[in-house]
Structure 1
Amino acid sequence: MQHNQHGMTDLSILPQGCQDAIQQSGTSGMMQGMDMSSMMGGMENMDEAQQASMQAMMEMNGPMMATHTIKDPDLAFHCGMIAHHAGAIAMAEVELQYGDDEESKAIAQRIIDAQGPEIEEMTAWVDEHTGQ
């Protein structure tokens, strides 16, 4: 899980409206100290593809969990799905880079093609409903 310079979960994959709502929830501090990289201690024993996959997962999990602290269920849904889709795209990119199976690579490309526009749609909703 990525942390910013203040030790907080890196929420930069989320639109500003989501970041603001997480901060306003008053529970964003609970995400501090939840460092998945320490839980995944043996990354140095993983090959490059495994490390890339794990990194993609860690970058998604913190923001996705943090969105569940948002009080507005509609906003929480959109913000959580943006983080989830960003993680799916990152994992699909790992498949495209390291995978060998053409069918798996085709699925990964379909995920990227479908979920990128969905992120844009949900980000527009967040921006509209949070006044960004």
Structure 2
Amino acid sequence: MRKFELAAVVAALLAAPAAFAQESGTGGQAGHMAGQGGPMPDLSILPQGCQDAIQQSGMPGMMQGMDMSAMMGGMEGMDEAQQASMQAMMEMNGPMMATHTIEDPDLAFHCGMIAHHAGAIAMAEVELKYGDDEESKAMAQKIIDAQGPEIEEMTAWVEENAGQQ
């Protein structure tokens, strides 16, 4: 797939929630009413304190309709490595966006960075599996080695501080 075709797919994926909102008549407020839109994004990459804060923020209604898995259909024509990379990005995107609904800015930061780092690790794993360039693979391993412990540190902070707003 050419770079501009891949860019078009990514742009379509990013625009899909807004397009869904327009089509569903919610005027950009996809899923604010119960039963509208698709399922909640999978928040399992986040610690329980982050998930609880997202639930308390009223986010479940806002994020419905952002079913990242439904967007996977736009990946026909991509090779296995491209699909794996896109899957890693989509699994990070929903939880990362959801963390920005958390009212406490410190908690939102930690939760957002946990999702971001988990996505970076997943993308680095794609590089290790499919990449050929040794320098790129070394960078991917460096990301995994650095960001795994950072996730642990931020998760410990969340466990100690979540709910103390």
TM-score by length of 1: 0.90
SS of the counterpart of 1:108? helix
Q: Tell which has more relative contact order, 1 or 2 (C-alpha 8 A, sep 6+).
A: 1
Provide runs of 4+ in structure 1 moved above 2 Å.
35-42
The residue correspondences of 1:1-132 to structure 2 (distance < 5 A) are 7-39=39-71, 41-130=73-162
**Unpaired runs of 5+ in structure 1?**
none
* Aligned equivalents of 1:93, 1:59: Cα separation in 2: 14
Q: Which amino acid aligns with 1:55?
A: Q
Residue 28 of structure 1 and its aligned partner are, at CA, apart by 2.5
Task: Indicate the larger mover: 101-110 or 40-49.
Answer: 40-49
**Unpaired runs of 5+ in structure 2?**
1-12, 14-37
Residue 54 of structure 1 and its aligned partner are, at CA, apart by 0.3
* Aligned equivalents of 1:35, 1:27: Cα separation in 2: 14
- Aligned-residue RMSD, C-alpha: 1.7
Residue 45 of structure 1 and its aligned partner are, at CA, apart by 1.2
SS of the counterpart of 1:17? helix
Q: Which amino acid aligns with 1:86?
A: A
Larger Rg: 2
* Aligned equivalents of 1:26, 1:71: Cα separation in 2: 10
Kept in 2: contact 1:28–1:69 (CA 8 A): no
* Aligned equivalents of 2:143, 2:118: Cα separation in 1: 10
TM-score by length of 2: 0.73
